[in-house]
């Protein structure tokens, strides 16, 4: 039994690690694409959702068909609203109204929201170790972000509206992670995501279709097509394929702690591209990030605490 649990934990950790690395690469890749000016944020969001929906439905043809009852289809619609539409949509809008640094700082709040929502909804205990892990990981992520703040142009301005929109996006994603954990465990990732991305595409059509239609595809360089392929296949299809595995096998707070990897990966890629330099502060920040994830991982779940209480009473 212990080996089974350890195997499930390993699969969950590996899935969340790879997914968040892919998510972290989304930032520099998307920024490079948007900076070329041929595709705006709303067109890119529409392209990401629609393209991913097509890929997930094609992939579903090669696996055993899973019947999904109407009640669960309705639940998946709301899961799509929280985990994809509101998360991605409000974040894109928020980034357009605030600075990249502020937006990156706000993404580190996801594990905090997950811890609070899990405590309220799943009755997961907020232990001192869990709080310490979240705080250490957040400190590492914030240190990493602020260490590169000198790269921000003086002309860039931030807005409280943009910050709040980005904050709402993280709260939405954390709520999805916690509330739909049981539903996610019932189906394969492809079945889940084909429906969620279909719903997301339908919801975003009124806002993104016009922007996508305005793109002049004939003038796009090959580099932009390569960036689009990564965003649809790597940063979305593969990442969202792996995320339910982590969601199914790990506690919500533990899974969401991997969110700290995203600014870390984005920063390292920026250094490799020559846009920033590696410093001892960045090295210390990386250590804090991984330490935070480790501390949250070894914190006790409600089930573990109940078993210990039962053993003491016996």
| Tens digit of each residue's pLDDT (9 = 90 or more) over 98-137 | 655 556 667 777 777 887 888 888 777 777 877 887 788 7
Confidence of residue 304 (pLDDT cuts 50, 70, 90): low
Range of the domain at 210: 2-313
In the block, which residue shows the tokens 């922007």? 211
| Tens digit of each residue's pLDDT (9 = 90 or more) over 22-72 | 887 887 788 778 778 788 888 888 998 999 999 999 999 998 889 999 999
- What proportion of the chain, given as a percentage, has pLDDT over 90? 19
Domain count across the chain: 1
In the block, which residue shows the tokens 């990897």? 261
Q: What is the dihedral of CA 66, 69, 70, 75, to 10 degrees?
A: -80
- b/e per residue 9-42 (b: at least 16 CB within 10 A): eebbbebbebbbbbbbbbbbbbeebbeeeebbbb
Confidence of residue 154 (pLDDT cuts 50, 70, 90): very low
Q: How many CA atoms does the CB half-sphere of 170 hold within 13 Å?
A: 25
What single string gives the DSSP state of each residue in 248-286? Answer: HHS-HHHHHHGGGHHHHHHHHHHHHTTSS---HHHHHHH
Mean pLDDT of the 163-184 span: 86
* CA pseudo-torsion sign 125, 286, 32, 26: negative
Per-residue model confidence (pLDDT) at position 54 = 96
Q: Which of 208, 166, 270, 170 is nearest to 48 (CA)?
A: 208
**Polymer length of the chain:** 314
Tokens of 193: 């995501």
């Amino acid at each position: 039994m212990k080996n089974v649990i350890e195997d499930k934990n390993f699969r969950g950790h590996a899935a969340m690690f790879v997914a968040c690395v892919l998510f972290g690469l989304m930032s520099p890749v998307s920024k490079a694409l948007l900076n070329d000016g041929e595709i705006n944020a709303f067109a890119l969001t529409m392209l990401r959702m629609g393209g991913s929906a097509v890929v997930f439905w094609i992939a579903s043809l090669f696996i055993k068909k899973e019947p999904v009852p109407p009640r669960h289809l309705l639940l998946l619609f709301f899961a799509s609203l929280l985990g994809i539409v509101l998360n991605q949509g409000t974040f894109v809008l928020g980034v357009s109204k605030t600075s990249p640094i502020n937006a990156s700082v706000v993404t580190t709040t996801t594990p905090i929201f997950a811890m609070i929502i899990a405590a309220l909804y799943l009755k997961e205990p907020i232990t001192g170790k869990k709080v310490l892990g979240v705080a250490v990981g957040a400190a590492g992520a914030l240190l990493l972000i602020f260490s590169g703040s000198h790269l921000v142009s003086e002309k860039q301005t931030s807005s409280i509206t943009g910050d709040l929109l980005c904050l709402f996006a993280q709260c939405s994603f954390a709520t999805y992670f916690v509330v739909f954990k049981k539903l996610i465990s019932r189906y394969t990732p492809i079945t889940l995501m084909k429906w969620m991305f279909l719903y997301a595409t339908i919801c975003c059509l009124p806002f993104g279709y016009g922007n996508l239609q305005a793109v002049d595809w004939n003038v796009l360089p090959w580099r932009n097509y390569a960036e689009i392929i990564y965003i649809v296949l790597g940063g979305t299809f593969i990442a969202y394929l792996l995320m339910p595995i982590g969601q199914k096998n790990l506690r919500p707070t533990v899974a969401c702690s991997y969110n700290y990897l995203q600014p870390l990966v984005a920063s390292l890629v920026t250094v490799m591209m020559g846009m920033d330099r590696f410093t001892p502060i960045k090295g210390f920040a990386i250590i804090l990030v991984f330490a935070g994830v480790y501390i949250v991982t070894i914190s006790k779940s409600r089930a573990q605490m109940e078993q210990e209480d039962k053993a003491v009473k016996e």
